[in-house]
């Protein structure tokens, strides 16, 4: 009862400043908000609409059709999905296996060296993607540097056919996405208290046990973040399969691009495939976050 | 002359009363401290004077002008923040000149005034350094002159020494007093460190739960605490509850249960009219108690108790004994320069006599809410409070 | 003794892995740089040193045009997305802002879905609205994907901002506008520059979204390079790539320098 009196005066004043600040926030964020609604949200609605239309050679006809979704469930497209999924999964796995020791090495390096080592990881990451892919073409192609070296050293008689294989695609994918795994792993491992490891070893755990019991669980957050950064873009990869892969086994990114760019166009098909990918990614993200939250809760208990 | 007047000032945060109907006035040129545990409302009070918080109710006046609703930049009040809040992208010079530049002071005058202020804190040669290139004590000095250059009527200091280490803190305390003497303006000082508040202030207001519990000169608060809270928050004390069983001309007789079924009879001078059967709390500072193997020879106006030493803590300048009397524990400080009554030093589990003069205890017209909490106060509770006030500079 | 050996083995393994990954990361790039000076039409063996492909580069109008397009797009999209990023980050500083969740979602979601989807959706938007694809549409697309990055980078800088500096300035008599320009903005500047550099690199690096939103006749460098590689006329690509790698290194060095200068002045 005592409080009622001034609470009213107070709340009026506080609410006024609060609502003024809120209005200010709306005004400041409005340009970006409108921009993202117009050019990020609205386009997806159009994708949804297009996925229910009838294809034309150059454009779409505004006639309702479920044909695109029916086709998307064909074995041919399902295998495309599988192909892309396998590539993304293998890329992620190889990136973890290769990236972990590297991140670990940098994290344990002396402070002075650390930054230099990091720059070495970041330079390729900043280098234009196409150039990096192109450099692999030079390296791997039929009459490229690798084959040249191997032939000269007498190890092989015939040039190896590495370019334009799924193996080449995987190799370049790992090459391109490796920094995305190393950087988040590094930032987690850097914060890791290495005295914990020593403590564990003092308590009798050997190196391998200590690694699995302590380092790995603590680095799980980095692996999780890195995997997201690698797996999701890898699902939609276009450029790498296009430039180092072959046309016999197409990946999802290529199929979607062909449906939009090549004539005859099939925009409803491209839309349906894009939406399927989007839904898949959304489900994956929701599931992973639920899992992550639960594991965090478990660890806290 | 009265400089600041606060009338019925109240502030709440989502229903939590941070400052509860506080009224007081601070004199011009005074060094006034607000002292209290964290969360007692002292910082909120200061922030309302500075203008960073809007009071829910009440008024703040400087001189005769009501500044309650003025924004901070229109008040003749400046603040020293706990973490100094020096602008990291400006040199020492630019930091100090900040206030003058806003007031569009001519350039030559700025240079002159800044130099003058820097020489006040002996930092003329650091003018071109950046805040991260100077030490904590130097940052503190810059923060002070950055505020003083604006010639405020009142300088507010929010735990200004909290981030410094012990030696520097003592040094800065003296320097603050010197600066206060040199500029002669009103300082309002907020701290939870009783030592700081006691040594620096002209007057101290002890705060708890958003209210001023007691205010007055430091010695007054220490020697004559008005409440149990003031008694145990400032300095260390023994608290014993008892019932008035006799009233004489100069003293009252108290019957105090010792918690083990017996009761102690203690005499104390009184400062308010007691009545028979009244329940009171006796506050007895540890340094006022004498400790000895033998009974004192003269026992007029002296309380004498027999107890057993339970713990001895050697603290350098003095030794602290914990002496058990019944179920009560008495904290006793014994200085080493004293000529011992006994040849040998006191030992654990030794029976000892405790005695003190009737006028060395102080009666508080208040009893702890229940016996249990009293026991905690007399033992662990006091311990706890003292520990936290000795180590106040936790993050 | 035994533990020491295992420990050393463990470290050695990591060093080996690190070195191998370094070789893996740099060998193709080094080969590309070396062969840009090779006097041969196709990449078989060393045929002597030449700079002629570099000269060809500067005579090629298509490349010059693509370079100009890339720079214009990168410059404009960096500027606009950084301005939007600053405004948005400032607006989202208010923790009680009622649109905070919506805004965060719109900023973070584009980062976690494959790029190609943004390309497809924008391509369909421009088809649906019958806008002629070209420089304008590419610019819109680049701003759209840069915004998320600029907001996040500037926001993270603002999070470390010590609000008591604003109170201190106010206390010393400064009004809100003065505080913004003299205190807040200078302290945000390193974050703003970092955001702009990131937006710039993302813009010049992008292929897939540009591919979907540019029309015929508007090529950026990545689009030009990809087309040339596919058509197989790659003689000048080596030298062009080397120059672009040089540009990247230049940016890395500049960022480091800039950061150092900024840290020393701020």
Q: Give per-residue pLDDT as tens, A243-266.
A: 999 888 899 999 999 999 988 889
Residue in A closest to C121 by C-alpha? A43
Domain contains A147: yes
Predicted local confidence at residue B117, as pLDDT? 92
Rounded to whole angstroms, the Cα distance separating B388 from B225 reads 20
Residue in A closest to C12 by C-alpha? A105
Predicted local confidence at residue B383, as pLDDT? 32
Q: Give the three-class secondary structure for B180.
A: helix
Q: In 3D, which of B167, B179, B208, B186 has the Cα closest to residue B45?
A: B208
Residues B216 and B247 in one domain: no
Decide if B103 and C162 are in contact by the 8 Å CB cutoff. Answer: no
How many domains does chain B contain in total? 2
Residue in A closest to B17 by C-alpha? A3
Strands (E), chain A: 54-55, 60-61
Contact status of B13 with chain A (Cβ, < 8 Å): no
Alpha helical stretches, state H, chain B: 42-50, 92-102, 107-120, 136-148, 166-183, 194-200, 218-223, 228-233, 371-376, 382-390
Decide if B98 and C172 are in contact by the 8 Å CB cutoff. Answer: yes
Rounded to whole angstroms, the Cα distance separating C199 from C74 reads 8
Q: What is the pLDDT of residues C66-118, one digit of tens each?
A: 999 999 999 999 999 999 999 999 999 988 899 999 999 999 999 989 999 99
Q: Which residues of B touch A5 (CB under 8 A)?
A: 57
Q: What is the mean pLDDT of residues B268-286?
A: 87
Residues A171 and A189 in one domain: yes
Predicted local confidence at residue A13, as pLDDT? 62
Predicted local confidence at residue C237, as pLDDT? 83
Print the domain residue range for B315: 237-390
CATH number at residue B379: 2.40.50.100
Residues B196 and B313 in one domain: no
Print the domain residue range for A274: 61-300
Q: In 3D, which of A77, B50, A25, A102 has the Cα closest to residue C92?
A: A25
Residues A47 and A173 in one domain: no
Q: What is the pLDDT of residues B4-26, one digit of tens each?
A: 999 999 998 888 889 999 999 99
- B330 pairs with which residues across the strands? B323
Supply A10's token pair. Answer: 């107070």
Q: What is the pLDDT of residues B146-201, one digit of tens each?
A: 999 999 999 999 999 888 888 888 888 999 999 999 888 999 999 999 889 999 99
Which of B223, B250, B281 delimits the end of a domain?
A: B223
Residues B216 and B317 in one domain: no
Residues B78 and B145 in one domain: yes
Closest-CA distance, A200 to chain B, in angstroms, reads: 30
The H or E element containing residue B186 is strand B186-191
Is the pLDDT at B202 greater than 90? The verdict is: yes
The H or E element containing residue B31 is strand B31-35
Domain contains A223: yes
Q: Which residues of A touch B11 (CB under 8 A)?
A: 10
Supply C33's token pair. Answer: 């740089």
Q: Which residues of B touch C162 (CB under 8 A)?
A: 83, 85
Closest-CA distance, A43 to chain C, in angstroms, reads: 5
The H or E element containing residue B58 is strand B57-62
Q: Work out the mean pLDDT of chain A and round it to a whole number.
A: 86
Residues A164 and A42 in one domain: no
Is the pLDDT at A2 greater than 50? The verdict is: no
Sequence length of chain A is 301
Decide if B12 and A9 are in contact by the 8 Å CB cutoff. Answer: no
DSSP codes, C58-125: HH-HHHHHHHHHHHHHHHHHHHHHHHHHHHHHHHTT-TT-TTHHHHHHHHHHHHHS-HHHHHHHHHHH
The architecture that CATH gives domain C57-265 is: Orthogonal Bundle (1.10)
Residue pair A103/A222 in contact by the 8 Å Cβ criterion: yes
Q: Give the three-class secondary structure for B320.
A: strand
Is the pLDDT at B98 greater than 90? The verdict is: yes
Decide if C3 and A206 are in contact by the 8 Å CB cutoff. Answer: yes
Which residue among C28, C125, C127 sits closest to A42, beta carbon to beta carbon?
A: C125
Residues B160 and B275 in one domain: no
Predicted local confidence at residue C58, as pLDDT? 86
Contact status of C63 with chain A (Cβ, < 8 Å): no
Rounded to whole angstroms, the Cα distance separating C50 from C40 reads 9
Domain contains B231: no
Predicted local confidence at residue B385, as pLDDT? 32
Which residue among C28, C205, C234 sits closest to A129, beta carbon to beta carbon?
A: C205
- B115 pairs with which residues across the strands? none
Predicted local confidence at residue C5, as pLDDT? 55
Q: Give the three-class secondary structure for A156.
A: coil
Closest-CA distance, C83 to chain B, in angstroms, reads: 22
Predicted local confidence at residue C88, as pLDDT? 96
Decide if B17 and A3 are in contact by the 8 Å CB cutoff. Answer: yes
Q: In 3D, which of B50, B7, B54, B47 has the Cα closest to residue B26?
A: B7
What confidence tier does B27 reach under pLDDT thresholds 50, 70, 90? very high
Domain contains B395: no
Which of B169, B190, B223 delimits the end of a domain?
A: B223
Residues A17 and A110 in one domain: no
Domain contains A215: yes
- B279 pairs with which residues across the strands? B243
Closest-CA distance, B338 to chain A, in angstroms, reads: 50
Residues B170 and B291 in one domain: no
User: Rounded to an integer, what is the distance from CA C8 to the centroid of its chain?
Assistant: 39
Is the pLDDT at A60 greater than 90? The verdict is: no
Predicted local confidence at residue B377, as pLDDT? 42
CATH number at residue B90: 3.40.50.300
Under 8 Å CB-to-CB from B321, ≥6 apart: which residues?
B291, B309, B311, B312, B313, B331, B332, B334, B346, B352
Closest-CA distance, A173 to chain C, in angstroms, reads: 12
Is the pLDDT at A14 greater than 70? The verdict is: no
Alpha helical stretches, state H, chain C: 2-35, 52-59, 61-91, 100-112, 115-128, 135-159, 164-171, 176-179, 185-205, 208-213, 221-231, 235-265
Predicted local confidence at residue A218, as pLDDT? 78
Predicted local confidence at residue B95, as pLDDT? 95
The set of chains that have 3 or more CB pairs under 8 A with B is A, C
Q: In 3D, which of C195, C215, C81, C75 has the Cα closest to residue C145?
A: C81
Closest-CA distance, B10 to chain A, in angstroms, reads: 8
Domain contains B232: no
Q: Which of A3, A5, A6 to mutate to test the interface with B (most CBs of B within 10 A)?
A: A6
Residue in C closest to B79 by C-alpha? C171
Predicted local confidence at residue C97, as pLDDT? 92
Residues A114 and A23 in one domain: no
Predicted local confidence at residue B388, as pLDDT? 31
Under 8 Å CB-to-CB from C94, ≥6 apart: which residues?
A21, A22, A24, A25, C100
Supply C154's token pair. Answer: 């500037």
Strands (E), B197-338: 203-208, 211-216, 238-247, 251-257, 263-269, 279-284, 290-292, 302-314, 318-325, 328-335
Residues B94 and B148 in one domain: yes
Closest-CA distance, C39 to chain A, in angstroms, reads: 15
Supply C239's token pair. Answer: 């030298």
Q: Interior CA angle at C13 toward C9 and C17, to 5°? A: 170
Rounded to whole angstroms, the Cα distance separating B143 from B164 reads 14
Decide if C170 and B72 are in contact by the 8 Å CB cutoff. Answer: yes
Decide if B10 and A13 are in contact by the 8 Å CB cutoff. Answer: no
Q: Give the three-class secondary structure for A66.
A: coil
Q: What is the pLDDT of residues B331-356, one digit of tens each?
A: 999 887 655 555 567 888 989 999 99
User: Rounded to an integer, what is the distance from CA C63 to the centroid of its chain?
Assistant: 20
Residues B166 and B84 in one domain: yes
Domain contains A184: yes
Q: Which residues of B touch C190 (CB under 8 A)?
A: none
In the predicted model, residues of chain C with pLDDT beneath 50 are 1-2, 265-266
Contact status of C171 with chain B (Cβ, < 8 Å): yes
Rounded-to-10 torsion of CA B210, B216, B221, B226: -60
Contacting B residues, span 44-103, partner chain A, CB-CB under 8 Å: 54, 56-57
Rounded to whole angstroms, the Cα distance separating A150 from A155 reads 5
Residues B331 and B379 in one domain: yes
Rounded to whole angstroms, the Cα distance separating A221 from B390 reads 41
Decide if B12 and A10 are in contact by the 8 Å CB cutoff. Answer: yes
Which residue among C92, C226, C249 sits closest to A29, beta carbon to beta carbon?
A: C92
Residue B244: half-sphere exposure toward Cβ, Cα within 13 Å = 22
CA distances in angstroms from A145 to A141, B380, C19, C248, listed in the order given: 8, 80, 21, 24
Rounded to whole angstroms, the Cα distance separating A129 from A134 reads 9
How many domains does chain A contain in total? 2
CATH number at residue A202: 1.10.3720.10
Which residue among B77, B86, B89 sits closest to C186, beta carbon to beta carbon?
A: B89
Residues A79 and A209 in one domain: yes
Contact status of C208 with chain A (Cβ, < 8 Å): yes
Decide if B15 and A7 are in contact by the 8 Å CB cutoff. Answer: yes
Residues B189 and B315 in one domain: no
Residue pair A114/A106 in contact by the 8 Å Cβ criterion: yes
Closest-CA distance, B57 to chain A, in angstroms, reads: 6
Closest-CA distance, A39 to chain B, in angstroms, reads: 38
Residues B213 and B241 in one domain: no
Q: What is the mean pLDDT of residues B132-153?
A: 92
Residues A278 and A143 in one domain: yes
Closest-CA distance, B75 to chain C, in angstroms, reads: 8
Residues B173 and B270 in one domain: no
Decide if C248 and A123 are in contact by the 8 Å CB cutoff. Answer: yes
Decide if C244 and A129 are in contact by the 8 Å CB cutoff. Answer: no
Residues A38 and A162 in one domain: no
Q: What is the mean pLDDT of residues A42-50?
A: 95
Residues A29 and A93 in one domain: no
Supply B71's token pair. Answer: 């924004």
Under 8 Å CB-to-CB from A249, ≥6 apart: which residues?
A83, A166
- B214 pairs with which residues across the strands? B206
Domain contains A103: yes
Residue pair B46/B160 in contact by the 8 Å Cβ criterion: no
Residue pair B92/B132 in contact by the 8 Å Cβ criterion: no
Residues A131 and A230 in one domain: yes
Predicted local confidence at residue C174, as pLDDT? 93
Domain map of chain C by residue range?
Answer: 57-265
Q: Give the three-class secondary structure for A101.
A: helix
Question: What separation, in Å, do the N-terminal and C-terminal C-alpha atoms of chain A show?
Answer: 42
Q: Interior CA angle at A197 toward A191 and A201, to 5°? A: 175
Predicted local confidence at residue A150, as pLDDT? 85
Decide if C174 and B83 are in contact by the 8 Å CB cutoff. Answer: no
Domain contains B59: yes
Domain contains A56: no
Decide if A6 and B15 are in contact by the 8 Å CB cutoff. Answer: no
Q: Which residues of B touch C164 (CB under 8 A)?
A: 81, 83, 85
**Cis bond upstream, residue A264 (ω within 30):** yes
Q: Which of A10, A12, A21 to mutate to test the interface with B (most CBs of B within 10 A)?
A: A10
Over pLDDT 90: what percentage of chain B? 47
Q: Which of B14, B78, B102 to mutate to test the interface with C (most CBs of C within 10 A)?
A: B102
Q: What is the pLDDT of residues A112-145, one digit of tens each?
A: 888 888 888 888 877 888 888 988 888 888 777 8
Domain contains B95: yes
Decide if C25 and A44 are in contact by the 8 Å CB cutoff. Answer: no
Domain contains B198: yes
């Amino acid at each position: 009862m005592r409080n009622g009196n001034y609470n009213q005066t107070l709340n009026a004043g506080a609410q006024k400043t609060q609502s003024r600040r809120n209005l200010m926030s709306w005004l400041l964020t409005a340009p970006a908000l409108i921009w993202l609604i117009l050019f990020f949200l609205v386009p997806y609605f159009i994708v949804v609409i297009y996925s229910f239309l009838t294809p034309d050679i150059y454009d779409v006809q505004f006639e309702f059709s479920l044909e695109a979704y029916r086709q998307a469930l064909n074995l041919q497209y399902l295998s495309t999905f599988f192909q892309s999924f396998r590539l993304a999964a293998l890329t992620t796995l190889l990136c973890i296996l290769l990236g972990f020791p590297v991140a670990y090495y940098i994290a344990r390096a002396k402070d002075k060296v650390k930054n230099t080592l990091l720059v070495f990881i970041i330079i390729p990451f900043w280098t234009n993607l196409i150039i990096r892919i192109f450099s692999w073409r030079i390296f791997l192609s039929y009459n490229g540097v690798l084959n040249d070296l191997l032939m000269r050293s007498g190890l092989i008689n015939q040039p190896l056919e590495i370019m334009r294989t799924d193996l080449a695609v995987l190799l370049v994918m790992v090459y391109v996405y490796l920094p995305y795994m190393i950087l988040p792993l590094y930032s987690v491992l850097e914060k890791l208290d290495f005295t914990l490891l020593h403590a564990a070893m003092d308590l009798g755990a050997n190196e391998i046990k200590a690694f699995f019991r302590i380092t790995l669980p603590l680095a799980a957050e980095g692996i999780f973040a890195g995997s997201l950064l690698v797996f999701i873009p890898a699902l939609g990869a276009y450029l790498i399969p296009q430039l180092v892969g072959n046309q016999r086994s197409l990946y999802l990114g290529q199929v979607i691009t062909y449906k939009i760019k090549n004539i005859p166009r099939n925009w409803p098909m491209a839309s349906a495939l894009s939406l399927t990918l989007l839904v898949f990614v959304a489900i994956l993200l929701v599931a992973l976050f639920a899992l992550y939250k639960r594991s965090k809760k478990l660890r806290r208990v | 002359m009265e400089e600041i007047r606060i009338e019925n000032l109240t502030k709440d945060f989502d229903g939590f009363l941070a400052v509860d109907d506080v009224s007081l006035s601070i004199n011009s040129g005074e060094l006034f401290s607000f002292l209290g545990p964290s969360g007692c409302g002292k910082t909120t009070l200061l922030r309302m004077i500075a203008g960073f918080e809007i009071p829910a109710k009440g008024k703040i006046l400087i001189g005769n002008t009501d500044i309650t609703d003025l924004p901070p930049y229109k008040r003749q009040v400046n603040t020293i923040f706990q973490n100094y809040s020096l602008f990291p992208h400006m040199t020492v010079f630019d930091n100090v000149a900040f206030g003058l530049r806003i007031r569009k002071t001519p350039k030559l005058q700025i240079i002159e005034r800044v130099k003058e202020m820097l020489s006040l804190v002996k930092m003329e040669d650091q003018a071109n350094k950046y805040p991260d290139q100077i030490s904590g004590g130097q940052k503190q000095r810059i923060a002070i002159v950055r505020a003083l250059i604006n010639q405020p009527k009142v300088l507010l200091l929010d735990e200004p020494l909290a981030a410094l280490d012990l030696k520097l803190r003592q040094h800065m305390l003296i320097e603050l007093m010197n600066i206060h003497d040199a500029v002669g303006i009103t300082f309002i000082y907020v701290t939870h460190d009783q030592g700081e508040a006691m040594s620096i202030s002209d007057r101290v207001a002890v705060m708890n739960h958003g209210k001023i519990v007691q205010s007055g000169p430091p010695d007054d608060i220490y020697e004559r605490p008005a409440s149990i809270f003031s008694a145990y928050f400032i300095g260390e004390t023994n608290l014993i509850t008892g019932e008035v069983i006799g009233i004489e001309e100069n003293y009252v007789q108290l019957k105090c249960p010792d918690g083990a079924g017996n009761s102690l009879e203690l005499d104390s001078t009184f400062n308010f009219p007691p009545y028979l059967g009244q329940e009171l709390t006796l506050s007895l500072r540890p340094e006022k108690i004498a400790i000895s193997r033998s009974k004192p020879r003269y026992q007029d106006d002296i309380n004498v108790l027999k107890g057993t030493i339970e713990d001895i803590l050697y603290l350098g300048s003095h030794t602290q004994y914990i002496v058990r009397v019944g179920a009560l524990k008495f904290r006793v400080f014994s200085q080493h320069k004293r000529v011992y009554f006994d040849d040998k030093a006191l030992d654990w589990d030794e029976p000892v006599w405790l005695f003190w003069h009737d006028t060395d205890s102080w009666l508080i017209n208040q009893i702890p809410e229940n016996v249990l909490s009293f026991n905690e106060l007399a033992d662990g509770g006091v311990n706890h409070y003292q520990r936290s006030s000795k180590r106040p500079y936790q993050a | 003794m035994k533990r020491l050996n295992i420990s050393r083995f463990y470290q050695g393994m990591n060093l080996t892995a690190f070195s191998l990954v370094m070789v893996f990361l740099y060998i193709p790039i080094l080969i590309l740089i070396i062969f840009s000076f090779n006097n041969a039409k196709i990449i078989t063996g060393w045929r002597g040193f030449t700079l002629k492909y570099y000269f060809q580069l500067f005579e090629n109008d298509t490349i010059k045009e693509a370079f100009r397009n890339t720079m214009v797009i990168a410059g404009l999209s960096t500027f606009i997305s950084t301005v939007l990023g600053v405004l948005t980050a400032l607006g989202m500083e208010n923790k009680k802002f009622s649109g905070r969740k919506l805004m965060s979602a719109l900023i973070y979601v584009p980062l976690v879905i494959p790029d190609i989807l943004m390309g497809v959706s924008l391509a369909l938007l421009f088809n649906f609205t019958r806008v002629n694809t070209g420089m304008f549409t590419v610019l819109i697309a680049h701003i759209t994907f840069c915004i998320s990055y600029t907001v996040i980078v500037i926001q993270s800088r603002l999070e470390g901002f010590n609000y008591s500096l604003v109170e201190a300035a106010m206390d010393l008599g400064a009004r809100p506008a003065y505080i913004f320009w003299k205190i807040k903005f200078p302290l945000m500047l390193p974050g703003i520059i970092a955001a702009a550099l990131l937006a710039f690199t993302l813009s010049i690096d992008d292929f897939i979204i540009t591919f979907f939103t540019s029309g015929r006749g508007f090529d950026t460098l990545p689009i030009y390079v990809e087309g040339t590689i596919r058509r197989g006329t790659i003689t000048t690509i080596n030298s062009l790539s080397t120059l672009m790698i040089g540009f990247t290194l230049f940016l890395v060095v500049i960022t480091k320098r800039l950061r150092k200068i900024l840290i020393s002045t701020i």
